[in-house]
C-alpha cells in the first residue's frame, strides 16, 4: 500500500496501526528494503483444509437429528471453524465499526446471524432447526474462494518474480590485492567486479579491461550477443560470454536498469486504474444496501407469517450471495495480469492508469529522429567530381570532421577508408551550414548549399535537391575553392517502422509525424512510411502545443519519442511512449517504456490495453449481472411462485464460483498473443530500374515515389528527373511489372 501523508500531522506507524485495527497486517517499508510479495496462499490453504475437515462431521451431525445433544455437538464442532477463520470477523466487523463496511462485513454478518439463530433455538427450544452447519459452510467456502484468489494473484505477479530471479545474488569483487565473493547488494559504486565466463552481470558498470560478448536479451529482447571491450557499458541481469571482464561498478544492484524495471512493473501492478476506483466506489455503496436488503427480507417474511428460522435463512442467503468479491476482483486481477504480460514482452506500464488510458488513443504523434529512424546517420552516397577518387573525397571529409562530436561527423568518420591521421589546424563551425577549416595549409569547406553559396562555390544544385528529396542530407566538400564532391548522409528507418505504422493505422489510429528536421527530409520519410499528416522544423514547444490543440478538441492523443526535446510532449500526451534507447528524461516523462526498443511494441501496448479493458468490462458485466439475478432468488421472491429457495450454504458456494469465474477470465490475458510480423530479409529483395519520361522537377519525383510506395511489396523507391530513371526495391510478394507501369502511367508519366 502506498500512502501520501503529511509527516507533521501523522506518522507511518500511526497509519499502520489504523490498518491493523481494521484486521489487516501492516508495517512501514524502508526505501532500501525490498517490498514483500507474499500473497498468503499457503496460510489460506491450511485454513481451508482444517475448515473443510471439521465441516464434514458438522454436516453429518446436522442430518442425524434435531435433538439437544446433536445441537450441542454441532456447536462444539463449529467453534474451531469460527476460531480458524476469526480474521474474517476481525476485518468485517472492524470495518463496520469504522463505518466502512466491506466484503468481509457481509460474510461476518451472515455467519454471526446463523450462529445467533442457532444459539437462540438451542436456548429457547433446546432443539429445533439450527443453522450452525450453514455458518461453517459459509466460512469454509469463502476461505476456499480467497485461497483461489490468492493463487491467481500470485500467478499475475510471476513476471516480477521472474525478473527478480535474473539478478544474481552474489558478486566477485576485487578490493586491493584480495578477491572475495560477497552479496550483490553489498557491491558499491567504484568497486571492481570480476565477471567470469558464463556468469550473470550483478551490477551496471563500465568494462575496465577484458573483452567478451554479452547476451542482453533480458533487457533488449535481442538474442544476438553484443561485443564488449574496454570502456563499454554492461548491465545487471545480462549474461557474460566466453571472456573474462573486469568491470567498474557505476550503479549498485538496487540502482541498476533491471531493478528500475522490476520496481516499475511492481508499482504498476499495485496501482489502481480509474475504472478500478469506480468499482471500489460501487462496492462501498453496494455493501450497505445489501445489509438493508437482508434486514428487509427478514422483516418481510416475518410479516408474511413465516417462521423466524425461514426468515433468517433468507436474510443470511442475501448477505452471503451479495458479497461483491467478484466485483472487487473484476479490475485488479485483470490489471495485474496485463501488466505482467506486458513486462514479459518488454512493455513496461508505469501504472494501472497508463494501461487503461492506452486503449482509448485515437491520435498518435510520432517523433522522427531516433523513433521512426535509428537516430544514427550513415553515409549512403559518395559522389566525387571528375578527377577525384571516392577514397580521396572521404579521406578529406573525415580529416575535416576529425574531432567533431556532430552525428554527421561520426557517420563520415565511420565511412572513411582509414582513420584520419591529421586534424584541421583551424576550424570554425557555422550552425545550420557546416564548417570552414584550414587543412594542411589549404582552406576547406564541408557543408550544405547555404555554405557553398556564402563562399561562392559552384555546386550541383539539382543533385542536392534530388538527394534532399530522397530524405538525405547532402554535404559538399571543397578544397582551395575546388568542389571535390558530394557526400549524402541519411538516418535509416528502423527495420520495423513500416510494419508498425501499418499496424497502427489498421487499428484505426491517426498518425502524425512531428520533426525538427527540414521539410524535404520529413516529406521523404513520411512518404516512405505512408504517413500523410506530418510537420517539419518543429521545436519542442511546437510538439507540446500540437498535442495541447488535439486534446482541446476532446481527442485522446499519445506521443512516441526518445529524446530530451520530446519530454514536454511526452508529459502533455494522454499516454507517452518512450523507446528503451531513449534518454533518461524521456523515460521519466513517459507512461509506457518499450524496453526492447521495438517500434512495433507501440501497437502491442495499445492492443494489450484494449484486451485488458475488454476483459474488465466482461468481468464487471458478469459480476453485476450475478448480483442482480442472485439477490431476488436468495430473498425468496420466487419461493411462492416456483418453490425456488437458496440455502445459505449454496449461496456461499455460488458466491465463491462467481469470484472464481471472474479470476479465471482475467487470467486468460496470460495467453494473450503478441504477433511480430516477419520482416523479409534483404537477400530476398529485388531491385529494378525503369526509364520514365515526363519528370521535370523534384516535385515530380515525389509524386511518382508516393504512388509507387502505395503498392504492396514496394519497399523503397528512388526517382530522378535528371536521368529519367526510377529504381525500386521489391520485397515478397512483389507486384508484377504491369502493375508498376500502370501506376506510373496513372500518375501522369510515361514508362519507356
Catalytic positions: 367
CB 167 within 8 A of CB 236: yes
At residue 750, what are phi and psi to the nearest 5 degrees? -110, 130
DSSP 257-272: HHHHHHHHHHHHHHSP
- Element (H or E) spanning 16, and its range? helix 12-21
User: CB neighbours (10 Å) of residue 1?
Assistant: 9
Residues 6 or more apart in contact with residue 420 via CB below 8 angstroms: 395, 398, 399, 402, 413
Q: Which residues pair with 651 in a beta bridge?
A: none
Q: Which residues pair with 559 in a beta bridge?
A: 365, 576
* Of residues 573, 588, 599, 385, the one with CA closest to residue 479: 385
Packing angle of the helix pair 308-321, 648-667 (nearest 10 deg): 10
Assigned C-alpha cell, 72: 450441542
CB 325 within 8 A of CB 333: no
If phi > 0 it is left, if psi is from -120 to 50 it is alpha, else beta; for residue 99 that is left
At residue 213, what are phi and psi to the nearest 5 degrees? -115, 125
Residues 6 or more apart in contact with residue 120 via CB below 8 angstroms: none
* Of residues 89, 132, 114, 88, the one with CA closest to residue 316: 114
Distance of CA 358 to the CA centre of its chain: 10
Assigned C-alpha cell, 629: 439475478
* Of residues 275, 236, 255, 268, the one with CA closest to residue 618: 275
Assigned C-alpha cell, 618: 466482461
Residues 6 or more apart in contact with residue 116 via CB below 8 angstroms: none
Which value, to the nearest 10 degrees, does the dihedral of the CA atoms of residues 289, 291, 295, 298 take? 110
- Report the first-to-last Cα separation within the chain, whole angstroms: 73
Distance separating alpha carbons of residues 512 and 510, to the nearest angstrom: 7
DSSP state of 35: P
Distance separating alpha carbons of residues 202 and 259, to the nearest angstrom: 11
CB 539 within 8 A of CB 516: yes
With cell 484505426, the residue in question is 508
Residues 6 or more apart in contact with residue 321 via CB below 8 angstroms: 627, 630, 631, 633, 634, 646, 651, 652, 654, 655
Beta strands 482-490; 378-384: pairing state: antiparallel
Amino acid at each position: 500500500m502506498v500512502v501520501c501523508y503529511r509527516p507533521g500531522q501523522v506518522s507511518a506507524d500511526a497509519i499502520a496501526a489504523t490498518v491493523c485495527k481494521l484486521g489487516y497486517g501492516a508495517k512501514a517499508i524502508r526505501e532500501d528494503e525490498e517490498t514483500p510479495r507474499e500473497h498468503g496462499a499457503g496460510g489460506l490453504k491450511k485454513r481451508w483444509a482444517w475448515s473443510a475437515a471439521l465441516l464434514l462431521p458438522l454436516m453429518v451431525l446436522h442430518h442425524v437429528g434435531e435433538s439437544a445433544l446433536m445441537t450441542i455437538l454441532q456447536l462444539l464442532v463449529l467453534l474451531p471453524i469460527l476460531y480458524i477463520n476469526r480474521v474474517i470477523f476481525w476485518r468485517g466487523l472492524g470495518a463496520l465499526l469504522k463505518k466502512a463496511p466491506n466484503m468481509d462485513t457481509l460474510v461476518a454478518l451472515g455467519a454471526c446471524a446463523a450462529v445467533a439463530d442457532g444459539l437462540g433455538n438451542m436456548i429457547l427450544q433446546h432443539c429445533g432447526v439450527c443453522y450452525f452447519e450453514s455458518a461453517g459452510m459459509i466460512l469454509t467456502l469463502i476461505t476456499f474462494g480467497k485461497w483461489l484468489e490468492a493463487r491467481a494473484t500470485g500467478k499475475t505477479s510471476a513476471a516480477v518474480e521472474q525478473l527478480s530471479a535474473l539478478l544474481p545474488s552474489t558478486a566477485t569483487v576485487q578490493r586491493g590485492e584480495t578477491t572475495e565473493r560477497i552479496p550483490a547488494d553489498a557491491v558499491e559504486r567504484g568497486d571492481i567486479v570480476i565477471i567470469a565466463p558464463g556468469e550473470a552481470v550483478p551490477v551496471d558498470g563500465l568494462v575496465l579491461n577484458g573483452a567478451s560478448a554479452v547476451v542482453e536479451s533480458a533487457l533488449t529482447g535481442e538474442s544476438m550477443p553484443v561485443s564488449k571491450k574496454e570502456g563499454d557499458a554492461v548491465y545487471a541481469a545480462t549474461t557474460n560470454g566466453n571472456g573474462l571482464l573486469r568491470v567498474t561498478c557505476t550503479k549498485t544492484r538496487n540502482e541498476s536498469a533491471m531493478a528500475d524495471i522490476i520496481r516499475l512493473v511492481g508499482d504498476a501492478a499495485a496501482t489502481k486504474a480509474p475504472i478500478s476506483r469506480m468499482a471500489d466506489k460501487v462496492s462501498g455503496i453496494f455493501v450497505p444496501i445489501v445489509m438493508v436488503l437482508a434486514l428487509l427480507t427478514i422483516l418481510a417474511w416475518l410479516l408474511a407469517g413465516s417462521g423466524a428460522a425461514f426468515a433468517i435463512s433468507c436474510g443470511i442467503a442475501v448477505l452471503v450471495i451479495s458479497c461483491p468479491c467478484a466485483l472487487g476482483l473484476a479490475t485488479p486481477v485483470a490489471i495485474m495480469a496485463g501488466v505482467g504480460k506486458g513486462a514479459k514482452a518488454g512493455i513496461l506500464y508505469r501504472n494501472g492508469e497508463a494501461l487503461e488510458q492506452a486503449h482509448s488513443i485515437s491520435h498518435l504523434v510520432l517523433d522522427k529522429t531516433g523513433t521512426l529512424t535509428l537516430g544514427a546517420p550513415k553515409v549512403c552516397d559518395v559522389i566525387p567530381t571528375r578527377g577525384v577518387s571516392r577514397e580521396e573525397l572521404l579521406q578529406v571529409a573525415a580529416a575535416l570532421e576529425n574531432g567533431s562530436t556532430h552525428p554527421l561527423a561520426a557517420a563520415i568518420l565511420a565511412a572513411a577508408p582509414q582513420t584520419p591521421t591529421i586534424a584541421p589546424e583551424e576550424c570554425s563551425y557555422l550552425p545550420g551550414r557546416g564548417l570552414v577549416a584550414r587543412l594542411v595549409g589549404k582552406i576547406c569547406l564541408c557543408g550544405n548549399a547555404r555554405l557553398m553559396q556564402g563562399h561562392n562555390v559552384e555546386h550541383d544544385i539539382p543533385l542536392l535537391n534530388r538527394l534532399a528529396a530522397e530524405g538525405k542530407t547532402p554535404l559538399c566538400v571543397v578544397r582551395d575553392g575546388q568542389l571535390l564532391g558530394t557526400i549524402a548522409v541519411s538516418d535509416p528507418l528502423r527495420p520495423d517502422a513500416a510494419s508498425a505504422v501499418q499496424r497502427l493505422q489498421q487499428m484505426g489510429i491517426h498518425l502524425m509525424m512531428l520533426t525538427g528536421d527540414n521539410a524535404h527530409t520529413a516529406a521523404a520519410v513520411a512518404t516512405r512510411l505512408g504517413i500523410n499528416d506530418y510537420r517539419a522544423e518543429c521545436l519542442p514547444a511546437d510538439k507540446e502545443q500540437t498535442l495541447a490543440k488535439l486534446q482541446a478538441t476532446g481527442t485522446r492523443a499519445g506521443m512516441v519519442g526518445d529524446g530530451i526535446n520530446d519530454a514536454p510532449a511526452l508529459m502533455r500526451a494522454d499516454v507517452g511512449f518512450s523507446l528503451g534507447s531513449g534518454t533518461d528524461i524521456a523515460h521519466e516523462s513517459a507512461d509506457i517504456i518499450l524496453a526492447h526498443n521495438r517500434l512495433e511494441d507501440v501497437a502491442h501496448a495499445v492492443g494489450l490495453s484494449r484486451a485488458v479493458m475488454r476483459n474488465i468490462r466482461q468481468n464487471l458485466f458478469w459480476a453485476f449481472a450475478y448480483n442482480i439475478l442472485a439477490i431476488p432468488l436468495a430473498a425468496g421472491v420466487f419461493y411462492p411462485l416456483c418453490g425456488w429457495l437458496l440455502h445459505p450454504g449454496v449461496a456461499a458456494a455460488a458466491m465463491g464460483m462467481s469470484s472464481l469465474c471472474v479470476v479465471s477470465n482475467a487470467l486468460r490475458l496470460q495467453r494473450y498473443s503478441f504477433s511480430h510480423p516477419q520482416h523479409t530479409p534483404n537477400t530476398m529483395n529485388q531491385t529494378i530500374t525503369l526509364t520514365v519520361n515526363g519528370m521535370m522537377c523534384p516535385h515530380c519525383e515525389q509524386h511518382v515515389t508516393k504512388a509507387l510506395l502505395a503498392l504492396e511489396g514496394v519497399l523503397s523507391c528512388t526517382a530522378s528527373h535528371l536521368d529519367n530513371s526510377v529504381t525500386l526495391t521489391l520485397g515478397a510478394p512483389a507486384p508484377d511489372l504491369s502493375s508498376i507501369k500502370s501506376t506510373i502511367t496513372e500518375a501522369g508519366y510515361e514508362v519507356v
